[in-house]
Amino acid sequence: MEAWLDFAKGPLFAFTFGIMIAGLFRLVFLQVYHLLVKKGRRLKDVPWMAMVRESLSWVIPVRHIEPGTKIFSIASFLMHIGVIVVPLFLLDHVVRWERFLGLDLPAVSKGTADILTLLTIACSLLLLAYRTFRARHRTVSGPVDYILLVLVLLPFVSGYLAMHPALNPLPWDVMMLTHILSAEVLFLMIPATKLAHVVLFFFDRISAVHWQLRPGAGDRVAEALYGEEVRI
């Protein structure tokens, strides 16, 4: 098992992380190319500062919460905090980033990481319940949405159990291997799914000049909001 852990923490981590970075770089390059080359002439009079302010307003999206989605939106926002802070700033992870990338990042305390981890798990389960049992959310959810929530949950659950032996039903090395492998699966999924909004957030917000709604998405949103008889 030690050999498997070394492989997962070493070559496999480097490979999957590299795939994620390359995939995200490709997506950003394509977005910039599409904006500058395909829509270059339309960008001359774009109010960029207003768009930047509008994009930043989505970082804490209080004024963008739709009626009837307050709990879902708050849970999603809190989950995002945990998903960003714990992988980057947990002390054990900071040590790995320093070794792997040479980054000197600040670290959060173990207690803070535990709270954020449990908050992320709770919010992820709540979002999963909403997508499963609420018709409004179920209508706009596809199989990938459920899979992604489970994939986000796995590293947090397995990491928390690995760090708390009294709660861990499996041997430590098995749980730690599960933690690492599930995170690496997530690395591979990020560039290929909606999780890519980690780098596409700004591009998704400038729909006035960069409309990207996928075919059929409008119908699904309309069905969720107004009923099946509506089509757009």
pLDDT at 156: 96
pLDDT at 230: 44
Question: Of 98 and 186, which is predicted with more confidence?
Answer: 186
pLDDT level of residue 122 (50, 70, 90 thresholds): very high
196 and 144 Cβ atoms separated by less than 8 Å: no
pLDDT at 57: 65
The number of beta carbons lying within 10 Å of the beta carbon of residue 1 is 11
pLDDT level of residue 231 (50, 70, 90 thresholds): very low
pLDDT at 91: 80
Task: Tell me: pLDDT of 58 over 90.
Answer: no
pLDDT at 96: 80
Q: Where are the alpha helices (DSSP H) in the chain?
A: 2-9, 11-33, 48-57, 70-89, 91-101, 110-133, 135-139, 143-163, 172-189, 197-205, 217-226
In this predicted structure, which of 68-72, 123-127, 133-137, 169-173 has the lowest mean pLDDT? 68-72
Task: Tell me: pLDDT of 22 over 90.
Answer: yes
pLDDT at 16: 94
Output the pTM of the full model.
Answer: 0.79
pLDDT level of residue 129 (50, 70, 90 thresholds): very high
Amino acid at 33: Y
pLDDT at 142: 85
Please give the share of the chain, as a percent, with pLDDT higher than 70. Answer: 75
Task: Tell me: pLDDT of 59 over 70.
Answer: no
pLDDT at 187: 94
At which residue do the structure tokens 């496999």 appear? Answer: 12
Half-sphere exposure of 193 (CA within 13 A, CB side): 17
**Secondary-structure class of domain 2-39+64-199 per CATH:** mainly alpha
| Residue range 73-100, pLDDT digits in tens | 888 888 989 998 999 888 888 888 887 7
